[in-house]
Amino acid sequence: MKDTEQLYPGYRFPPEIISHAVWLYHRFCLSLRDVEDLLAERGITVSYESIRQWCNRFGPEYARKLKKRQGQLGDTWYLDEVFIKNRGELNYLWRAVDQDGDTIDILVQKRRNKQAAKRFFRKLLKGQQDAPRRMITDKLKSYSAALREVMPSITHSTEQTENNRAEVSHEPTRQRERQMRRFKISRTGSALSYCLWRSRQSVQAGSALDASDALSRVSLEGIL
The CATH number covering residue 121 comes to 3.30.420.10
- Is residue 117 domain-shared with residue 47, that is, in the same domain? no
- Is residue 96 domain-shared with residue 66, that is, in the same domain? no
Which structural domain, as residue segments, surrounds residue 135?
76-168
Q: Which pLDDT score, from 0 to 100, does residue 197 have?
A: 40
Q: Which pLDDT score, from 0 to 100, does residue 167 have?
A: 62
Residue 148 in domain: yes
Q: Which pLDDT score, from 0 to 100, does residue 223 have?
A: 64
3-state DSSP of the chain: CHHHHHHCCCCCCCHHHHHHHHHHHHHCCCCHHHHHHHHHHCCCCCCHHHHHHHHHHHHHHHHHHHHHHHCCCCCEEEEEEEEEEECCEEEEEEEEECCCCCEEEEEEECCCCHHHHHHHHHHHHHHHCCCCCEEECCCCHHHHHHHHHHCCCCEEECCCCCCHHHHHCCHHHHHHHHHHHHHHHHCCCHHHHHHHHHHHHHCCHHHHHHHHHHHCCCCHHHCC
- Is residue 17 domain-shared with residue 58, that is, in the same domain? yes
Residue 149 in domain: yes
Which of 212, 224, 220 is closest to 103 using CA atoms? 212
Which residues contact residue 156 at a Cβ distance below 8 angstroms, ignoring those fewer than 6 apart?
134, 135, 136, 137, 143, 144, 147
Backbone angles phi, psi at 58, to 5 degrees: -105, -20
pLDDT in tens, 133-175: 999 998 999 999 999 999 999 999 998 777 666 666 556 555 5
Residue 184 in domain: no
Average pLDDT over residues 72-77: 85
Residue 176 in domain: no
Residue 175 in domain: no
Residue 173 in domain: no
Looking at the 3D structure of the chain, how many domains does it have? 2
- Is residue 159 domain-shared with residue 82, that is, in the same domain? yes
Q: Is the separation of the CB atoms in 81 and 95 below 8 Å?
A: yes
Q: What percentage of the chain reaches a pLDDT higher than 70?
A: 71
Residue 174 in domain: no
- Lowest pLDDT segment from 81-90, 129-138, 148-157, 214-223: 214-223
- Is residue 135 domain-shared with residue 201, that is, in the same domain? no
- Is residue 117 domain-shared with residue 45, that is, in the same domain? no
- Is residue 139 domain-shared with residue 57, that is, in the same domain? no
- Is residue 101 domain-shared with residue 120, that is, in the same domain? yes
Which residues contact residue 119 at a Cβ distance below 8 angstroms, ignoring those fewer than 6 apart?
107, 109
- Is residue 95 domain-shared with residue 113, that is, in the same domain? yes
